[in-house]
């Protein structure tokens, strides 16, 4: 029956979109981490994807029966706290001593840190893919024939909540506004008595927490292994699409990439299924050609 | 509490470097309670470097900075702001994407006494009504004069005992400069803010100051009451009454003639 098949296709399409959005949320959250650190410190953290991977492994290490077997809802905040501390300590203990070094050496340092984190995660937890044991694993909801995984819906809901929370933090709290101030004009922030270095370490802590959330969400959808963090490259593309200086841009860039992947796979002509893999980068190039500053580029030049 | 005999700020034999370049060569000066003290000097004399070293943005190689009887040289700026000294930097340096109100709130970053902060916010808006009108506008969209007002207002929010002002007239029309200096004088008289004012525009600075120093190539070369300085032949010849385009030539001659040494 052609009608039923058409209806089936539409349901299938909804599932495709939801799953793409869920992936996009994870990319977007990693991109958010990139952009926060870039805005605050001018450094590009190429280990942001590995931070995400590590956050997932922390949670997994706390909650999986093979490891510590703690309650999942306890493991989540613990993983967030651990990643926050790691972000803070990395900036305070390592990067602060490199101030005055070129951006290139800091970028290379973060790449090296990524390798180290992959090695550490493999050694401490597992070199093989492991799945995160969540209370909602494999639970689906049926919306009149559209079957959606709870994990995917949760990813979208949690991302929305986190985005709103971050928005309120950056626009309403003294610390959040000080973070913005320090990123717009570091010198002026110094003059006003804002402890710029501590603020920067706190931004690293915050991006560690966001990375942990992204990692837990990512792992709730499937397995995680030490090289999962390499999807940080896609998040990097997402950040660039968004303009690399814009937090909303990072999220939108993530969603664009999340959606384009399954859509490209679905609608690619026969024999070109691999196009899905290059689609994020093709989009990146198109955006950068037509809007070199990214979709959400800010016109104000930043002072350092 | 205020000992009229001990200065709010005393700088002794201060030396500061940019790498191998010595920008401040043994500067000593004093600012007393309630005074406006000006430091005059041509472009490149070292005025900004002096203020940065005093406010802790740069560390001195030698010498002492004493704020209310305590040595503060080399301390971090946030400590120094907390101690009651605020630096309104050259070129405004506002936070361009934050609103005017957020910029002003950032001036009070080191404080937590919310009631007093609210009172001081109202005080700032009473001196600069235009800022209140524009409070929810991004600061980067303000005009140069308004940005200067914002920088001063933001500095006031630290509730300073002493305010360091770096060339508030820079890039402003004579009319706006007059307006801003009138407010600086009122703040000094009505709010009792002690000020150290660095300027190239000697006429307007000597107009509000009680005492003045003249700086050249990192050294203090003259020091006297503002009125005496304004009447001195050298200051008159090289700093007062010369038009902008003669300025460069005037500075060269100034260097050749050092009659006070
Ligand atoms: N960041 C810097 N690096 C190297 N030299 C500098 C720097 N800033 C200023 N200088 C030099 O220090 C001297 C004093 O500069 P500055 O304090 O800015 O003078 P002023 O504020 O009186 O115009 C000048 O010779 C200037 O070239
Ligand atoms: Mg200067």
Complex-level ipTM:
0.84
Instruction: Report the alpha-carbon distance of residue B196 to residue A166 in Å, rounded.
Output: 40
Provide the pLDDT for residue A176.
95
pLDDT(A297) > 90:
no
B18: Cβ below 6 Å to ligand 1?
Answer: yes
Per domain, the residue ranges of chain B are: 1-84+161-225, 94-159
CB A72 within 8 Å of CB A133 = yes
B48: Cβ below 6 Å to ligand 1?
Answer: yes
Least Cα separation, residue A191 to chain B (angstroms):
6
Tens of pLDDT along B2-53?
445 679 999 999 999 999 999 999 999 999 999 999 999 999 999 999 999 9
Tens of pLDDT along B149-161?
999 999 999 999 9
Distances A133 to A79, A118, B116 between C-alpha atoms, Å: 14, 21, 52
Fold of the B1-84+161-225 domain: Rossmann fold (3.40.50)
Interface check for B254 against chain A (CB to CB < 8 A): the answer is: no
Sheet holding B62-67, edge to edge: B21-31, B9-18, B62-67, B70-71
Tens of pLDDT along B118-158?
999 999 999 999 999 999 999 999 999 999 999 999 999 99
Provide the pLDDT for residue A5.
52
Tens of pLDDT along A230-281?
999 999 999 999 888 888 999 999 999 999 998 888 888 877 778 888 888 8
**Which of A 136-175 lie inside 8 A of B, CB atoms?**
174
pLDDT(A127) > 60:
yes
Provide the pLDDT for residue B246.
47
- Tokens standing for A193? 């008595």
Least Cα separation, residue A247 to chain B (angstroms):
14
- Tokens standing for A31? 């991109």
CB B145 within 8 Å of CB B172 = yes
Please indicate whether, in this complex, the C-beta atoms of A189 and B106 are within 8 angstroms of each other: yes
Please indicate whether, in this complex, the C-beta atoms of B81 and A193 are within 8 angstroms of each other: yes
B45: Cβ below 6 Å to ligand 1?
Answer: yes
Over residues B99-112, the mean pLDDT reads: 96
Tens of pLDDT along A38-81?
988 888 899 999 999 999 999 999 999 999 999 999 999 999 99
Interface check for B81 against chain A (CB to CB < 8 A): the answer is: yes
Provide the pLDDT for residue A7.
59
Q: Which of B87, B89, B102 is opposite residue A177, by nearest beta carbon?
A: B102
CB B104 within 8 Å of CB A174 = no
| Secondary structure element (H or E) that encloses residue B38, with its range | strand B36-41
B89: Cβ below 6 Å to ligand 1?
Answer: no
Tens of pLDDT along A2-37?
444 555 667 788 889 999 999 999 999 999 999 999
pLDDT(A301) > 80:
no
Per domain, the residue ranges of chain A are: 2-290
pLDDT(A303) > 50:
no
Please indicate whether, in this complex, the C-beta atoms of B57 and A195 are within 8 angstroms of each other: no
Going from the Cα of B211 to the center of ligand 2, the distance in angstroms, rounded, reads: 20
Interface check for A193 against chain B (CB to CB < 8 A): the answer is: yes
- Tokens standing for B85? 């000294």
What number does the ligand 1 atom closest to the CA of B52 have?
Answer: 17
Q: How confident is the model at residue A1 (pLDDT cuts 50, 70, 90)?
A: very low
Provide the pLDDT for residue A171.
92
Residues 6 or more apart from B156 whose CB is under 8 A from it? B86, B107, B120, B123, B124, B127, B163, B187, B191, B193
Q: Which of B82, B97, B105 is opposite residue A184, by nearest beta carbon?
A: B97
Least Cα separation, residue B28 to chain A (angstroms):
22
Distances A177 to A98, A138, A170, B91, B123 between C-alpha atoms, Å: 26, 41, 6, 22, 22
Please indicate whether, in this complex, the C-beta atoms of B95 and A188 are within 8 angstroms of each other: yes
Residue corresponding to tokens 């929810």: B136
Please indicate whether, in this complex, the C-beta atoms of A194 and B78 are within 8 angstroms of each other: yes
Going from the Cα of B21 to the center of ligand 1, the distance in angstroms, rounded, reads: 9
Tens of pLDDT along B58-103?
999 999 999 999 999 999 998 999 999 999 999 989 999 999 999 9
Provide the pLDDT for residue B245.
45
* DSSP bridge partners of B164: B87, B196
Angle of helix A2-41 relative to helix A150-172, nearest 10 degrees?
30
Tens of pLDDT along A115-124?
999 999 999 9
Which residue out of A181, A193, A198 would a mutagenesis test of the B interface target, given it has the greatest number of B Cβ atoms within 10 Å? A193
Instruction: Report the alpha-carbon distance of residue A134 to residue A171 in Å, rounded.
Output: 33
The nearest alpha carbon in chain B to A184 belongs to: B95
Which residues in A lie closer than 8 A to residue B106 (C-beta atoms)? 177-178, 181, 189, 192, 194
Pairing of strands B162-166, B85-88: parallel
- Whose alpha carbon is nearest atom 17 of ligand 1? B46
Q: Which of B94, B105, B110 is opposite residue A188, by nearest beta carbon?
A: B94
CB B43 within 8 Å of CB B200 = yes
What mean pLDDT, rounded, does chain A reach? 90
- Whose alpha carbon is nearest atom 24 of ligand 1? B44
Architecture of domain A2-290 in this structure: Orthogonal Bundle (1.10)
Going from the Cα of B49 to the center of ligand 2, the distance in angstroms, rounded, reads: 7
B164 DSSP 8-state letter: E
**Residues surrounding ion ligand 2 at CB below 5 Å:** B 48, 90
């Amino acid at each position: 029956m052609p009608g039923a098949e058409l209806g089936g296709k539409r349901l299938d399409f909804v599932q495709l979109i939801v799953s793409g959005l869920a992936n996009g949320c994870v990319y977007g959250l990693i991109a958010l981490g990139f952009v926060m650190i870039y805005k605050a410190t001018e450094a590009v953290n190429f280990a942001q994807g590995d931070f995400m991977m590590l956050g997932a492994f922390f949670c997994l290490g706390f909650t999986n029966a093979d490891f510590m077997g703690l309650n999942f809802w306890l493991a989540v905040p613990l993983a967030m706290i651990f990643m926050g501390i790691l972000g803070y300590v990395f900036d305070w203990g390592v990067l602060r001593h490199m101030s005055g070094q070129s951006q290139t050496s800091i970028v290379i340092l973060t790449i090296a840190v990524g390798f180290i984190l992959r090695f550490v995660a493999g050694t401490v937890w597992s070199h093989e893919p492991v799945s995160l044991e969540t209370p909602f694993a494999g639970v689906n909801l049926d919306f009149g024939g559209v079957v959606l995984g709870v994990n995917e819906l949760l990813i979208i809901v949690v991302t929305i909540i986190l985005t709103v929370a971050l928005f309120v933090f950056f626009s309403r709290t003294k610390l959040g506004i000080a973070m913005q101030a320090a990123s717009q004009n570091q010198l002026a922030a110094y003059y006003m008595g804002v402890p710029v270095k501590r603020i920067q370490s706190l931004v690293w802590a915050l991006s560690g927490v966001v990375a942990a959330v992204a990692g837990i969400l990512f792992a709730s959808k499937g397995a995680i292994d030490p090289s999962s963090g390499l999807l940080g490259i896609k998040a990097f593309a997402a950040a660039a699409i968004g303009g690399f200086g814009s937090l909303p841009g990072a999220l939108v860039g993530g969603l664009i990439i999340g959606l384009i992947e399954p859509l490209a796979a679905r609608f690619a002509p026969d024999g070109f299924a691999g196009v899905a893999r290059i689609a994020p980068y093709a989009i990146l190039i198109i955006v950068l050609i037509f809007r070199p500053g990214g979709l959400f580029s800010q016109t104000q030049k930043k002072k350092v | 509490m205020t000992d009229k005999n001990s200065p709010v700020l005393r700088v002794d034999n201060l030396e500061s470097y940019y790498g191998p370049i010595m920008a401040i060569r043994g500067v000593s000066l004093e600012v007393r309670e309630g005074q406006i003290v000006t430091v005059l000097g041509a472009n490149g004399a070292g005025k900004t470097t002096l203020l940065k070293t005093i406010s802790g943005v740069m560390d001195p190689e030698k010498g002492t900075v004493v704020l209310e009887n305590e040595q503060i040289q080399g301390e971090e700026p946030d400590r120094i702001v907390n101690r009651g000294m605020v630096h309104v930097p050259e070129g405004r340096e506002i936070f361009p994407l934050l609103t005017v109100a957020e910029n002003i709130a950032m001036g009070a970053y080191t404080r937590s006494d919310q009631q007093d902060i609210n009172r001081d916010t109202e005080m700032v808006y009473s001196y600069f009504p235009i800022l209140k009108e524009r409070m929810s506008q991004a600061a980067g969209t303000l005009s140069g004069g308004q940005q200067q007002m914002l920088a001063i207002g933001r500095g006031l929010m630290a509730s300073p005992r002493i305010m360091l002002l770096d060339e508030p007239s820079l890039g402003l029309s004579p009319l706006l400069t007059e307006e801003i200096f009138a407010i600086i004088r009122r703040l000094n008289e009505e709010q009792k803010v002690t000020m150290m004012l660095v300027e190239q525009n000697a006429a307007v600075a000597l107009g509000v100051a009680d005492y003045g120093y003249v700086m050249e190539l990192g050294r203090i070369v003259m020091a006297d009451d503002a009125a005496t300085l304004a009447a001195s032949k050298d200051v008159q010849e090289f700093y007062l009454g010369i038009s902008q385009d003669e300025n460069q030539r005037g500075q060269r001659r100034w260097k050749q003639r050092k009659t006070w040494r």
